[in-house]
């Protein structure tokens, strides 16, 4: 099977693989076939296909960056806001925790200082929850 301008499908795949290795685009390299097949099924134009491919790479990079940052932080264990035990911490208002989890205070450049007795959930709120 040949593609336009006489390039075989095998040569095209090899060129994409080599280019992605050179440009360090691991997600595009591993997923271009899957995304191209989906684009063909959905009859997307090149301009419809390309953003899907590029956004897959961007999303994966964001995810890997987040994991790297959390690993570099050296948190002792993974904790999430949705795992917060409000029953064990009745003095901690759930609405306040969920509002802080929205991170609007970070975007506004406001500081956050968690003060409280031992066992009230401060560490849970400051590690990986946000």
With CA atoms as reference, report the closest residue to 125 among 82, 66, 71: 82
Q: CA–CA distance from 19 to each of 42, 50, 104, 117 (Å)?
A: 26, 15, 40, 55
pTM (whole model) above 0.95: no
Contact 105, 130 (CB under 8 A): no
How do the pLDDT tens digits run along the chain, 130 residues long?
445 567 888 998 999 999 999 999 999 999 999 999 999 999 999 999 999 999 999 999 999 998 898 889 887 777 777 777 778 777 778 888 888 888 788 888 888 777 777 766 666 555 444 4
Listed in sequence order, the residues at least 6 apart from 88 whose beta carbon sits closer than 8 Å to its beta carbon are: 119, 121
């Amino acid at each position: 099977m040949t593609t336009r301008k006489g390039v075989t499908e095998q040569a095209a795949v090899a060129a994409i693989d080599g280019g992605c290795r050179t440009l360090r685009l691991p997600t595009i390299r591993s997923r271009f076939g899957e995304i191209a097949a989906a684009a063909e099924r959905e009859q997307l134009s090149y301009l419809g296909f390309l953003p899907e491919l590029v956004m897959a790479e961007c999303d994966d990079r964001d995810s890997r960056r987040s994991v790297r940052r959390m690993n570099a932080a050296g948190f002792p264990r993974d904790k999430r806001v949705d795992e917060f035990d409000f029953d064990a911490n009745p003095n901690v208002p759930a609405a306040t925790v969920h509002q802080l989890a929205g991170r609007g205070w970070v975007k506004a450049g406001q500081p956050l200082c968690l003060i409280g007795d031992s066992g009230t959930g401060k560490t849970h709120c400051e590690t990986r929850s946000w």
